[in-house]
Structure 1
Amino acid sequence: MAELVFFSGTMDCGKSTLALQMHHNHAARGRQGLLFTQHDRSGTALISSRLGLVRRADEVTDATDFWRVVLERRAAGAAVDYLVCDEAQFYAAEQVEQLARVVDELEVDVFAFGITTDFRARLFPGSARLVELADRVEVLQVRALCWCGARATHNARTADGLMVVEGDQVVVGDVEPVAGEVAYEVLCRRHHVRRMTAAVARAVAPTPPTA
């Protein structure tokens, strides 16, 4: 039977890499699939991995109807066996419900990839609905690490190394900071609560004694 599977983890834990690997594995076995993404850091209509992998994909917008997309493709004579949906945290709850319907009524596998919570540790609407509806929720086994070496569980938004706790839920950025631009840093819960980023930790670290 087809499944709706949600692969979740923090930023920098390999979600997009796994999404592209999943697509490769299924395509190599002769299955026909579609790639979707939204707000990828590398640009519109792309799935990109920090390891350097990039593939074209359909950009999800407010008007995207996954049910209609699959029906139209099949009506045109194209097979659709699976969907790979990256950055799924940004999808509307209604779109996640469409994905569930595609699985249940059209027997199309859906592999969704995304982070669960935003920079305030609040659930994204798309991720919340995926957790509610998915046949399986898989936490990625590649662990992103906080600056302290502990497992990173939270995504922090930063500006010049300082943690930002207010603003729009969706602001595209990367884990590599650029001066004057929004960036993100993965932290353990303890340091997310304390708003202690790597830059703050360096600033408050005691100066070693000189000889």
Structure 2
Amino acid sequence: MSELVFFSGTMDCGKSTLALQIEHNRSARGLQGVIFTRDDRAGEGKLSSRLGLVTDAVEAGESFDVYAHLVDRLSQGGRCDYVIADEAQFFAPEQIDQLARVVDDLGLDVFAFGITTDFRSKLFPGSQRLVELADRIEVLQVEALCWCGARATHNARTVGGMMVVEGAQVVIGDVDAIDEVGYEVLCRRHHRRRMTAASARAAALSPDVLPVDAPAPVAAASGAVRSVAATSGGPVGSVSRPTVRS
């Protein structure tokens, strides 16, 4: 039975790599698929992985009708055994509805790949609709890591390495960008604190230190001991013993 499967995860966890692997495995068995994408970092009409793999795809722009495109292809004698939709978070909710219709009416498996939330931890409209409609949701097991070593769960937008929380929801960038708009995956703690790898390094180099109470001077401590000794009438370190009468 055909399914709509949503593969989700943070940036840099291998979603596009898995999409390319599924395409390779199925095409190696003689199956033919159609790949849709939108706003890929490699440019229009491309599905790319950070490992350097790239393949051609159909760009699903704002007004693009996924279902109509496939019906037209099949009506003209074309073949389609499965569908891959990468960068699905950028798809309009109506396009996600069209993907669900492809499964139900055309009997094709649809594999959608995308991140769930944006740099403000808000759901992308396309991802929200996928969560609502998908037959299965698969969280990728390849864990991206925060700079602190913890599991990364949030996507942060950076400018010059510093995290920002204002701006348009969709701005194309990459995790390797440093001096321009880029993205970084963080654990929830450091996303809440807006602490990226760059800001953490800056904090480590800061001359500011936490205030610490200075220990009491040795001379003052010795004077206190002498005072106690004088009061007791004996030398420092002596211990008075009670007199025992026989």
Q: TM-score, normalised by structure 1?
A: 0.96
Correspondence for 1:170? 170
Correspondence for 1:2? 2
Q: Distance in 2 between matches of 1:106 and 1:43?
A: 29
Q: Distance in 2 between matches of 1:23 and 1:144?
A: 23
Kindly state the Cα deviation for residue 126 of structure 1 after the two structures are TM-superposed.
0.1
Correspondence for 2:20? 20
Contact 2:2 2:109 survives alignment (8 Å): yes
Correspondence for 1:195? 194
Say which SS state the counterpart of residue 163 (structure 1) adopts: strand
Correspondence for 1:97? 97
Kindly state the Cα deviation for residue 81 of structure 1 after the two structures are TM-superposed.
1.2
Q: Distance in 1 between matches of 2:206 and 2:110?
A: 52
**Of 21-30 and 9-18, the range deviating more from structure 2:** 21-30
Correspondence for 1:125? 125
Percent identity (aligned) = 68
Correspondence for 2:88? 88
User: Match for 1:146: what amino acid?
Assistant: C
Structure with greater contact order relative to length (CA < 8 Å, sep ≥ 6): 1
Deviations 1:54-85 (A, max 9, x none): 00111110121111011101111011111110
Q: Distance in 2 between matches of 1:22 and 1:184?
A: 26
Q: Distance in 2 between matches of 1:58 and 1:48?
A: 13
Q: Distance in 2 between matches of 1:207 and 1:182?
A: 25
Say which SS state the counterpart of residue 67 (structure 1) adopts: helix
User: Match for 1:90: what amino acid?
Assistant: F
The Cα RMSD (Å) is 1.2
Kindly state the Cα deviation for residue 206 of structure 1 after the two structures are TM-superposed.
5.5
Q: Distance in 2 between matches of 1:122 and 1:174?
A: 19
Q: Once superposed, which parts of structure 1, at least 4 consecutive aligned residues long, lie more than 3 Å away? A: none
Contact 2:9 2:114 survives alignment (8 Å): yes
Say which SS state the counterpart of residue 51 (structure 1) adopts: coil
Q: Distance in 2 between matches of 1:97 and 1:149?
A: 38
Say which SS state the counterpart of residue 96 (structure 1) adopts: helix
Q: Distance in 2 between matches of 1:172 and 1:4?
A: 26
User: Match for 1:142: what amino acid?
Assistant: V
Aligned length: 207
Kindly state the Cα deviation for residue 191 of structure 1 after the two structures are TM-superposed.
0.3
User: Structure 1 residues 193 and 207, CA, compared in 2 at 3 Å: closer, same or farther?
Assistant: closer
Kindly state the Cα deviation for residue 178 of structure 1 after the two structures are TM-superposed.
3.8
Correspondence for 1:159? 159
Q: Distance in 2 between matches of 1:139 and 1:91?
A: 19
Q: TM-score, normalised by structure 2?
A: 0.82
Q: Distance in 2 between matches of 1:57 and 1:137?
A: 23
Q: Distance in 2 between matches of 1:111 and 1:64?
A: 18
Correspondence for 2:185? 186
Task: Show structure 1 runs of 5+ residues with no match.
Answer: none
Deviations 1:77-105 (A, max 9, x none): 01111111000000000100010011011
Deviations 1:3-61 (A, max 9, x none): 00000000000000000101111111111100111111111111111111000111110
Task: Show structure 2 runs of 5+ residues with no match.
Answer: 208-246
Q: Distance in 2 between matches of 1:204 and 1:82?
A: 50
